[in-house]
Amino acid sequence: MVSYGEFREVTEEAPDARPQPPRTPRRSGCPFCLIVCGRAPATVLREWPDALAIRPRHGGVTAGHVLVIPRVHVADVAEDPVVSAATMLRAAELAAEAGDCNVITSRGPAATQTVRHLHLHVVPRAEGDGLLLPWTAARPAET
């Protein structure tokens, strides 16, 4: 039997009221941290004080595919809600320019996260582009 995570009702104080652990600005060996500090190549498409928008290394899955990464090391969307929200703000700015698009992030290997540094994909879409989300069943071929 497969067990899926459950959402639990939170009855304690708000997350921002709890003390936060000190943020590690960079993590040794993290490919996105290396890009942020200028020690690895990347095509930077936009910069903000808190984030970068870069082109995926292999060009992306559609024209205009962009990754938005925070400048501080956060492993995934759940590690630091404030950094995650700020990074989503930047992705939303790009999505507003992109038109129809998916804005996607993953948390953990089972959810297809391959780099353990928060990143949001902004993937422009077009009707009939054939790109399926991981949970979308393939459409039967038309005859």
Whether residue 58 lies in the annotated active site = no
Q: In what order do the strands lie in the sheet with 51-54?
A: 44-47, 51-54, 66-70, 120-124, 101-104
CA distances (Å), 131 to each of 46, 77, 112, in order? Answer: 25, 24, 16
The residue from 65, 73, 117, 119 that is catalytic is 119
Beta-carbon contacts of residue 68 (< 8 Å; ≥ 6 apart): 51, 52, 53, 87, 90, 91, 94, 119, 120, 122
**Residue 18 C-alpha from the chain's centroid:** 25
Six-digit token pair at 111? 């959810």
CA distance 70 to 51: 4
Active site residues: 119
